[in-house]
């Protein structure tokens, strides 16, 4: 009978990989922080508002371009009955079809989006480039994550952020392109690293262009099932910016965007841990082992991320003093609620993975789109009664609801001993 302890998990690849992801996450977070003083000095709140709305529209449309196929690729990576390069090749065929169809729709109806967001029509037409580039970058990173290659993952991510920052300084400061310079930097850096990702995939022989109906069906079923989930997630994450623009001003949306960037460190930490946790978790679930220790680790994580959120809120005024221009000082009013929302988001990550492993993505999609729709009247209510800060309050409240509802669904689709006694410090293999 084999015994597992907390000490053994701490010494496992999970924490070694998580340490690499976390360090890289700090470095990756430091790059936009170093850029914030530049942007908040050379851009107006209205400029930052347009940048925020461009990122929002991009985030809404990306799931429709990529059909969340990078998630399907990671799940299929663990299947032994798959010609993996042919599977990725079939995903490329889907990407080509979605890109052609959605680019045509943006060409025909982009003016309506431009009127609602204050983004010029010609810049709306650049969004397909950003989405396709993001897909290739995400696919490259997802494969390194599945193969537990955190150093390659981190190097690629940091270099992309660094290129983004340097190009932003060139276009915004040296060439005085204002918000256009920031968007151009995002597009060019994404495109360059997408090409690098495609080259890496080709060199690793991960792509074999083909059309295999069974693989196309699986990618569309798994990834397509996550489209409502992704759109619902964007409704949760991004809708408040649309409401701020419409109900308050584009300047309020810009201030919210800066506050979100400042608070993003908490989210980056949770993403970093989850990047290491997912392959580690899926590997152990496939062997039906370590369930009690996984749950104990989850509860310890809940306490840890709550403490991190509180600590970061306490030092957030210093962050504003050191990094944020005076014109954006009002963004601080959003920070408590955004940090709290990111803490709940981190807790959500720890319980949603079981739904993905069980391939019940359609249930996850129904839940997310439902929560996203609830979010719309909630944002309106909070902004109406509390002003601009209501957008941040609704963000926190909806992520708490999302976390709890996802945990309940997760417990129904995959059996885990969530009611265990935390006084037990060992677990006999084979017990659930």
Instruction: List, as one string, the DSSP characters of 270-331.
Output: HHHHHHHHHHHHHHHHHHT--HHHHHHHHHHHHHHHHHHHHHHHHHHHHHHHHHS-GGGGGG
Q: What DSSP designation does 5 have?
A: E
pLDDT for position 3: 42
CA distance 383 to 370: 21
Residue 137 — φ and ψ, nearest 5°? -65, -45
CA-based R_g, the chain, Å: 21
Q: What number is the average pLDDT over the span 25-33? A: 73
Report CA 5 to chain centroid distance, whole Å.
32
Show the tokens assigned to 240: 């408040």
Coil vs helix vs strand at 204: coil
Report the C-alpha dihedral over residues 332, 333, 337, 341, rounded to 10 degrees.
-40
CA distance 356 to 353: 5
pLDDT at residue 372 is higher than 50: yes
Q: Which of 285, 286, 11, 23 is nearest to 150 (CA)?
A: 23
For 230-256, the pLDDT digits (tens) are: 777 777 777 888 888 888 888 888 899
Q: What DSSP designation does 82 have?
A: -
CA distance 94 to 90: 7
Residues with Cβ within 8 Å of 222's Cβ and at least 6 positions away in sequence, in order, are 68, 71, 72, 75, 76, 359, 361
Which of the two residues, 340 and 34, has the higher pLDDT score?
Answer: 340
Instruction: List, as one string, the DSSP characters of 170-197.
Output: IIIIIS--HHHHHHHHHHHHHHHHHHHH
pLDDT for position 389: 93
pTM: 0.69
CA distance 332 to 183: 24
- Per the CB < 8 A criterion, the answer to whether 61 and 43 are in contact is no
Report CA 321 to chain centroid distance, whole Å.
27
Say what angle helices 250-287 and 390-413 make with each other, to 10 degrees: 20
CA distance 359 to 136: 23
Q: Which of 136, 176, 124 is nearest to 160 (CA)?
A: 136
Query: Comparing 136-150, 175-189, 385-399, which segment has the lowest mean pLDDT?
Result: 136-150
For 330-355, the pLDDT digits (tens) are: 899 999 999 999 999 999 999 998 98
* 136-139 contacts at long range (C-beta below 8 A, 24 or more positions apart): 136/194, 136/195, 136/197, 136/198, 136/201, 137/190, 137/193, 137/194, 137/197, 138/66, 138/70, 139/69, 139/70, 139/73, 139/88, 139/91, 139/197, 139/201
User: Three-state secondary structure along 105-170?
Assistant: HHHHHHHHHHHHHCCCHHHHCCHHHHHHHHHHHHHHHHHHHHCCCHHHHHHHHHHHHHHHHHHHHH
CA distance 160 to 24: 12
Q: Where are the domains of the chain?
A: 3-428
Confidence of residue 421 (pLDDT cuts 50, 70, 90): very low
Q: What number is the average pLDDT over the span 299-322? A: 92
For 96-111, the pLDDT digits (tens) are: 999 999 999 999 999 9
What percent of the chain is predicted at pLDDT more than 90?
37
């Amino acid at each position: 009978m084999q015994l597992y302890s907390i000490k053994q998990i701490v010494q496992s690849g999970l924490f070694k990989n998580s340490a690499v992801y976390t360090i890289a996450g700090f470095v990756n977070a430091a790059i936009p922080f170093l850029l914030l003083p530049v942007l908040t000095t050379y851009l107006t709140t209205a400029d930052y508002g347009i940048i925020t709305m461009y990122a929002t529209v991009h985030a809404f449309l990306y799931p429709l371009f990529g059909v969340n196929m990078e998630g399907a690729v990671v799940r299929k990576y663990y299947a032994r009955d798959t010609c993996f390069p042919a599977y990725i090749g079939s995903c490329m065929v889907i990407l080509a079809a979605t890109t052609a169809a959605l680019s045509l729709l943006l060409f025909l109806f982009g003016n309506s989006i431009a009127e609602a967001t204050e983004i010029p029509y010609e810049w709306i037409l650049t969004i397909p480039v950003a989405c396709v580039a993001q897909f290739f970058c995400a696919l490259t990173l997802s494969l390194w994550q599945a193969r537990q290659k955190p150093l390659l993952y981190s190097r690629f991510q940091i270099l992309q952020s660094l290129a983004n920052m340097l190009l932003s300084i060139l276009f915004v400061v040296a060439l005085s392109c204002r918000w256009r310079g920031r968007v151009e930097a995002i597009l060019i850096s994404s495109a360059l690293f997408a090409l690098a990702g495609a080259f890496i995939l080709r060199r690793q022989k991960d792509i074999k262009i083909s059309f295999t109906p069974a693989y196309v069906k699986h990618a569309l079923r798994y990834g397509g099932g996550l489209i409502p989930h992704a759109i619902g997630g964007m409704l949760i994450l991004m809708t408040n910016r649309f409401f701020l623009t419409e109900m308050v001003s584009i300047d309020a949306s810009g201030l919210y965007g800066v506050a979100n960037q400042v608070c993003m460190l908490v989210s980056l930490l949770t993403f970093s841990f989850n990047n290491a946790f997912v392959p580690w978790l899926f590997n152990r679930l496939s062997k039906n082992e370590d369930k009690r220790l996984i749950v104990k680790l989850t509860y310890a994580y809940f306490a840890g991320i709550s403490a991190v959120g509180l600590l970061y809120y306490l030092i957030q005024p210093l962050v504003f003093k050191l990094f944020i221009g005076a014109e954006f000082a009002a963004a601080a009013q959003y920070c408590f609620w955004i940090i709290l929302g990111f803490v709940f988001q981190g807790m959500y990550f720890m319980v949603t993975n079981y739904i993905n492993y069980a391939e019940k993505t359609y249930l996850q999609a129904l839940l997310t789109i439902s929560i996203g729709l609830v979010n719309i009247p909630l944002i309106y209510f909070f902004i109406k009664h509390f002003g601009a800060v209501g957008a941040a309050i609704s963000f926190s409240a909806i992520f708490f609801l999302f976390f709890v509802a996802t945990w309940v669904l997760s417990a129904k689709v995959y059996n885990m001993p969530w009611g265990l006694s935390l006084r037990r410090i060992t677990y006999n293999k084979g017990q659930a």
